[in-house]
Structure 1
Amino acid sequence: MKAPSPPDPVQTAVAQGGVNRDTAVSQQLLNMVSQQNPWGSVAYNQSGTTSYVDSLTGKTVTVPQFTQTTTLSPEQQAIFDKSQAAQTNLAGIAEAQSGRVADALSDPFQFTNQDAADWSYDLAQTRIAPQQQRNEAALRSRLVNSGIRPGTAAWNSEMERLTQANTDQNNMLALQGRSQAFSENLATRNQPLNELSALLSGSQVSNPAQMSSAAPQVGVGGVDYAGMVQDNYQAKLQRQNALMGGLFGLAGTGIRAATGGFG
């Protein structure tokens, strides 16, 4: 009896590939569920086919191609159109603003410490200088009432302490004024950049609102064609071996009977 021929691996692979394609197309078709809700609708339609060459057979395989079309409701479409128009306007403003920014940044940033210190000192002297003068008058009166006269060591010591306190106050004022002036100058220089950045971020192209709910997904179980072919071959081979074993057993029994091997 002739033994079963083993399956051709190339033919098995080709058949398995075809089954896999059928499964993929079936799953795609089942999952392309059209949607319709208050925001609009989504539809799927076959728009053509695409082809490729199978690596095993060298034959051209053609599979369908689909197009997803999203249609907004009239209300949502109106909102989308106005949003696009607003973004277009912002983009135009940003384009014009970018030229002014280039001009503003063409000059290096400059900041003079002494000018800032003088500005802050002059600004605050209208309040600090009269206060310092009142403090000095009060100190002089207190010293005189205490019996301390001008020119004495105690008088000079108290006046020197007051002078040092006034100097420290003026220096602190200059430092704080410099920091404030620097921040204001830097903010003024950066303002065109900040405005341009805000305009550009507002004119970015964005996708319209997605549909509110996703379509249910369906899974299609693949067919293990190669495994089925191999299982079928193994089953035939086992039957062949069992049959051959039975025939050999009968032949052995006949030989023993002919030679008197029984009893």
Structure 2
Amino acid sequence: MCAPDPPAPPDPKETSAASTATNVGTAIANANLGNVNQVTPDGNLTYSQTGTYKWNDPYTGKSYDIPTYTATQTLSQTGQAIKDQTDQAQLNLGKLANSQSAFLNDFLSKPVDLSNDATEARLMDLGMKRLQPALDARRASNEADLINRGIRPGSDAYAQAQNLENQGENDAYNQLLLSGRGQAVQEALAQNSAPINNLTALLSGSQVSQPNFVNANMPTIPTTDVAGLINTNYNQKLQNWQQQAQSSSDLFGGLFGLGANVIKYSDRRVKTNVRRVGEFANGLAKYAFEYVWGGGEQIGVMADEVRAFRPHAVINVG
């Protein structure tokens, strides 16, 4: 019997193919675990496999069928009716925004005039609308008070009172011009921005609503380290072979070291009470026996079996 041959190392491509196949299978299983159909009062979310595509491993050249999925969301009857109405309203707002954009094209071509003359003109216009009615009411009240006190128009006292009234109104307008400039500028800018803000509001109201999906609990399956298992198995086989090879080397090294006498004494003809008791690691039978001249029980091999295994290890003497 001969010593066993060393184990063949794993083929890299076969190892890679096995590992890739495991990874692909695990990924597909995880994808299926994540495709959780959902049923809610507002609608349903359903996953379905709608096909496959071929993926080729660039290293091994093997092809894998990868499934493709489609997620379908359906609304309840009431929810669908609301969505239809909302979609129509948003479409109307979009159309209105489109028509307003044509107006803005002309409106924005005219810049806002923030010069002193334009600002003061706006303030005076504001004063005539808001301040002047209050001043007129105050003047009428003061004139009635003068008459009630016997001060008639045309008198010096009446003229003096009117001068004071005119001076007060003039001071009020001066105060408006001095302190109201910032407000006038803000109102001008606000007036200029109003059409833009209206258009922005219309556009934001006409945006398409995106469906909301629930984040499902998705457990994952860990990937098996196939390449590691293959290499571990190979290393174990290699260690076993190395141990067997070492045992065989030790056995025959001992035989060679003992020389011709031991080889001669391994002949069956000089042994009695021979019985097989086991086997060495290299496959040679192990025997218990006694020499015909005595000396007690011995453990060893038979020369004829050693010759069949390694012819040069046996020497014929005498």
Same fold? TM cut 0.5: yes
What's the TM-score, normalizing by structure 1?
A: 0.75
Alignment RMSD, CA only? Answer: 2.9
Tell me the amino acid that sits aligned with residue 237 of structure 1: L
SS of residue paired to 2:181:
helix
SS of residue paired to 1:46:
strand
Q: Residues 128 and 179 of structure 1: is their aligned pair in 2 closer, same or farther, counting only changes over 3 Å?
A: farther
- The answer to whether the Cα contact below 8 Å between 2:16 and 2:60 also exists between their aligned partners in 1 is no
How far residue 125 of structure 1 moved from its aligned partner, in angstroms, is 6.1
Q: Residues 247 and 30 of structure 1: is their aligned pair in 2 closer, same or farther, counting only changes over 3 Å?
A: same
Q: Deviations over 1:207-232 (max 9, x none)?
A: 12434xx4331211211111011001
2:194 aligned with 1:187: no
Choose which of 63, 75, 80 in structure 2 pairs with 1:77.
Answer: 80
In structure 2, the partner of 1:137 is none
How far residue 114 of structure 1 moved from its aligned partner, in angstroms, is 3.7
How far residue 127 of structure 1 moved from its aligned partner, in angstroms, is 5.6
Q: Deviations over 1:32-84 (max 9, x none)?
A: 22111212111111111111322023344321111111111112212222221
How far residue 117 of structure 1 moved from its aligned partner, in angstroms, is 5.0
Tell me, in whole angstroms, the C-alpha distance in 1 between the residues paired with 2:169 and 2:97. Answer: 51
SS of residue paired to 1:4:
coil
SS of residue paired to 1:186:
helix
- More off after superposition, 76-85 vs 167-176: 167-176
- What does residue range 43-192 of structure 1 map to in structure 2 within 5 Å? 43-111=46-114, 112-119=118-125, 124=131, 171-192=174-195
- The answer to whether the Cα contact below 8 Å between 1:117 and 1:175 also exists between their aligned partners in 2 is no
SS of residue paired to 1:79:
helix
- The answer to whether the Cα contact below 8 Å between 2:10 and 2:230 also exists between their aligned partners in 1 is yes
- The answer to whether the Cα contact below 8 Å between 2:9 and 2:234 also exists between their aligned partners in 1 is yes
In structure 2, the partner of 1:159 is none
Tell me, in whole angstroms, the C-alpha distance in 2 between the residues paired with 1:19 and 1:246. Answer: 39
2:223 aligned with 1:222: yes
Q: Deviations over 1:159-199 (max 9, x none)?
A: xxxxxx99886543212233332222222221111100111
- More off after superposition, 102-111 vs 185-194: 102-111
Of Structure 1 and Structure 2, which has the larger fraction of its residues in helix?
A: 1
Q: Percent identity?
A: 35
Of Structure 1 and Structure 2, which has the larger fraction of its residues in strand?
A: 2
SS of residue paired to 2:5:
coil
SS of residue paired to 1:223:
coil
In structure 2, the partner of 1:206 is 209
> How many residues end up aligned between the 2 structures?
228
Q: Which runs of 4+ in 1 moved over 6 A?
A: 128-131, 165-169
- More off after superposition, 175-184 vs 190-199: 175-184
Tell me, in whole angstroms, the C-alpha distance in 2 between the residues paired with 1:34 and 1:119. Answer: 66
Unpaired runs of at least 5, structure 2: 143-167, 263-318
Choose which of 7, 10, 17 in structure 2 pairs with 1:7.
Answer: 10
Tell me, in whole angstroms, the C-alpha distance in 2 between the residues paired with 1:251 and 1:43. Answer: 73
Tell me, in whole angstroms, the C-alpha distance in 2 between the residues paired with 1:198 and 1:36. Answer: 35
- More off after superposition, 48-57 vs 248-257: 248-257
Tell me, in whole angstroms, the C-alpha distance in 2 between the residues paired with 1:121 and 1:11. Answer: 92
Q: Residues 117 and 36 of structure 1: is their aligned pair in 2 closer, same or farther, counting only changes over 3 Å?
A: closer
- More off after superposition, 178-187 vs 99-108: 178-187
What's the TM-score, normalizing by structure 2?
A: 0.63
How far residue 242 of structure 1 moved from its aligned partner, in angstroms, is 0.6
Q: Deviations over 1:7-38 (max 9, x none)?
A: 11122112211111111111212222211121
Unpaired runs of at least 5, structure 1: 135-164
SS of residue paired to 1:55:
coil
Choose which of 31, 48, 68 in structure 2 pairs with 1:28.
Answer: 31
- What does residue range 226-237 of structure 1 map to in structure 2 within 5 Å? 226-237=227-238
How far residue 90 of structure 1 moved from its aligned partner, in angstroms, is 0.9
Tell me, in whole angstroms, the C-alpha distance in 1 between the residues paired with 2:133 and 2:47. Answer: 77
Tell me the amino acid that sits aligned with residue 172 of structure 1: Q
